[in-house]
A and B are shown apart, each in its own frame.
Chain A
Amino acid sequence: SAVISQKPSRDICQRGTSLTIQCQVDSQVTMMFWYRQQPGQSLTLIATANQGSEATYESGFVIDKFPISRPNLTFSTLTVSNMSPEDSSIYLCSVEDQDVEGYTFGSGTRLTVV
């Protein structure tokens, strides 16, 4: 199956700052997905990132707060902007994986905003 490297694995950030999370895949994929998992909650899709076009955001998520880049078929970044303590979550990237006929997830970035 696809191997996803997500960086950083964790970070503690000051409120008002921004953090960029990187997601690298070992194979070319058409769509990459970004999820948020708030403490004790399930995963919520933030946006879908296609190479060569703007990301598609789900209800409740906006580009100004969560800008996404997708420069090529193996890489994407998610930025959490102007952070507040409510942004403390695990952020995960995911790709559609033909090898498993499903989706593979990165190990996540655990963000704490203080």
Chain B
Amino acid sequence: DAKTTQPTSMDCAEGRAANLPCNHSTISGNEYVYWYRQIHSQGPQYIIHGLKNNETNEMASLIITEDRKSSTLILPHATLRDTAVYYCIVNAGNMLTFGGGTRLMVKP
């Protein structure tokens, strides 16, 4: 699986949009981009995934660049409960390989 690069940490004001970037320049054509988050002391939670089109669900939006070498997870209105570590993973249908993730701190 291709490796990903994410900032170690980010802050976001409550109620504002949180934009979490991810670089995956070596992604293969059949690899999806997955986003998970891990709230303290819990197991990782699935957020969203996509192949090349932008995706949106009740939790977030995923924007994938046309060359697929990077993506951005958008939490449109961050709340304090969105404070977590966010993992960007590229995957071709086998097991997930986790990188370091981005620690998002939502502040009041």
Contact = CB atoms under 8 A, between A and B. Distances in A.
Q: Do A and B come from the same complex? A: yes
Interface of A: 1, 4, 31, 33, 35, 42-45, 48, 92, 94, 97, 100-108, 110
A97 B46 CA distance: 10
A44 B34 CA distance: 17
A25 to B, nearest CB: 13
A100 B58 CA distance: 13
A102 B49 CA distance: 8
Interface string B71-108: 00000000000000001000000011111110000000
B43 A33 contact: no
A104 B98 contact: no
B71 to A, nearest CB: 15
A92 B95 CA distance: 13
Contacts of B99: 42
21 contacts: A4-B43, A42-B87, A42-B98, A42-B100, A42-B101, A43-B44, A43-B96, A43-B98, A44-B98, A92-B44, A94-B44, A97-B46, A100-B46, A101-B49, A102-B36, A102-B49, A103-B46, A103-B96, A105-B45, A106-B43, A108-B43
A69 to B, nearest CB: 19
A40 to B, nearest CB: 10
Contacts of A48: 95
A105 B44 CA distance: 6
Contacts of A110: 41
